[in-house]
């Protein structure tokens, strides 16, 4: 028997996928109607979270943050089966994942953080990526079950909380990536370049293929053989900013990048590869 707490878009689709595979799933959500909607697919909904977890060997969570996870688990505690396994897919802090692993073990239960890079469609189709780290024996026990929920289960070793850290790193990249696209579109508007042409450019030239090589260069510690000098990159960045300002458009990310570049130029690295701006971050 499984229980699932948190019936947002991700959680509800995880449950639908489990039900399609013939699993019995008890569900709960703070807004009870969202849990009730899943009864038409075969789930059993409960108004009380402690009732929802009764008899369940594995309890899954997809909630908002550390505080909501702590609150819901505390309220569910009285209904937990001795030795039950809690699998938390919520994006949380590393410290929170470490603390919950310790606390619930002391209470006689198992807590496994398993954050995901999966949208609602992935949850329904059992595709995407799920990450785990920590107790090797527990992960081994859960491997078959978790692998059925995702396209790929990524195991990051026995360090408790590392999966939480990896998830945060991935999300940080997505935030920066999306904000960068936003500035690119804002600049295209300032330059009177149609969005269709921007799509056309990136359909032919895919900068994502440069990520691995760029990371290697940035972490190498050697910036003395530039492929793009910092001074030249800063010159182009100035053009971006000036163009946007003249068009009355505000860039969100580029001005901060320009400030960082200026700091490294002032330190005497203007003739180095522009990836030197990462030097203090490694």
Q: Give CA–CA dist 70/5, Å, rounded.
A: 12
How far is Cα 11 from Cα 64, in angstroms, rounded to an integer? 11
Q: Are 222 and 275 in contact (CB under 8 A)?
A: no
CB 148 within 8 A of CB 122: no
CA-nearest of 5, 1, 3, 19 to 124 is 19
Q: Which pLDDT value is given to residue 248? A: 96
Alpha-helix residue ranges (DSSP H) falling in 108-229: 120-125, 136-147, 162-190, 195-204, 211-219
* Domains of the chain and CATH, by start: 2-160 (3.40.50.720), 194-281 (1.10.1040.10)
Walk along the chain (282 residues) and give the pLDDT tens digit of each residue.
999 999 999 999 999 999 999 999 999 999 999 999 999 999 999 999 999 999 999 999 999 999 999 999 999 999 999 999 999 999 999 999 999 999 999 999 999 999 999 999 999 999 999 999 999 999 999 999 999 999 999 999 999 999 999 999 999 999 999 999 999 999 999 999 999 999 999 999 999 999 999 999 999 999 999 999 999 999 999 999 999 999 999 999 999 999 999 999 999 999 999 999 999 988
pTM for this model (two decimals): 0.94
Predicted pLDDT of residue 282 = 81
| 270, two tokens | 């203007």
On whether the CB atoms of residues 268 and 241 are closer than 8 A, the answer is no
Q: How many C-beta neighbours within 10 Å does residue 70 have? A: 16
Say if CB 191 and CB 243 are below 8 A apart.
Answer: yes
For 240-263, write each residue's pLDDT tens digit.
999 999 999 999 999 999 999 999
Give 282's Cβ-side CA count (13 Å radius): 13
| Length, in residues, of the chain | 282
Tokens (6 digits) for 63: 């909630």
Predicted confidence (pLDDT) per residue in 153-179, tens digit: 999 999 999 999 999 999 999 999 999
In angstroms, the CA 198 to CA 175 distance is: 20
The residue among 139, 162, 15 whose CA lies nearest residue 92 is: 162
Please give the pLDDT value at position 16. Answer: 98
- Edge to edge, what strands does the sheet with 116-117 contain? 116-117, 129-132, 152-155
Element (H, E) at 256: helix 254-266
Residue 163: per-residue pLDDT: 98
Question: In this predicted structure, what is the pLDDT of residue 79?
Answer: 98
């Amino acid at each position: 028997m499984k229980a699932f707490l948190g019936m947002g878009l991700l959680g509800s689709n995880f449950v639908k996928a489990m039900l399609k595979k013939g699993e019995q799933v008890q569900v709960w959500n703070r807004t009870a109607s969202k849990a009730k909607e899943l009864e038409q697919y075969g789930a059993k909904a409960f108004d009380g979270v402690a009732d929802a977890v009764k008899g369940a060997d594995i309890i899954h969570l997809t909630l908002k943050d550390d505080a909501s996870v702590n609150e819901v688990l505390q309220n569910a505690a009285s209904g937990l089966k001795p030795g039950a396994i809690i699998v938390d897919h919520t994006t949380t802090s590393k410290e929170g994942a470490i603390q919950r692993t310790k606390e619930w073990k002391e209470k006689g239960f198992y807590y496994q953080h398993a954050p995901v890079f999966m949208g609602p469609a992935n949850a329904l189709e059992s595709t995407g990526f799920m990450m785990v780290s920590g107790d090797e024996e527990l992960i081994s026990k859960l491997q078959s079950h978790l692998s059925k929920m995702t396209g790929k289960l990524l195991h990051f070793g026995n360090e408790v909380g590392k999966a939480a850290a990896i998830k945060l790193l991935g999300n940080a990249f997505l935030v920066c990536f999306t904000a960068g696209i936003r500035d690119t579109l804002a600049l295209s508007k300032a330059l009177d370049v149609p969005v269709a042409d921007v799509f056309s450019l990136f359909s032919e030239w895919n900068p994502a293929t440069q990520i691995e090589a760029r990371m290697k260069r940035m972490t190498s510690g050697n910036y003395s053989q530039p492929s793009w000098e910092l001074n030249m990159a800063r010159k182009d960045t100035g053009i971006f900013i000036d163009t946007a300002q003249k068009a009355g458009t505000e860039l969100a990310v580029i001005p901060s990048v320009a400030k960082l570049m200026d700091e490294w130029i002032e330190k005497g690295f203007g003739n180095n590869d522009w990836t030197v701006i990462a030097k203090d971050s490694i």
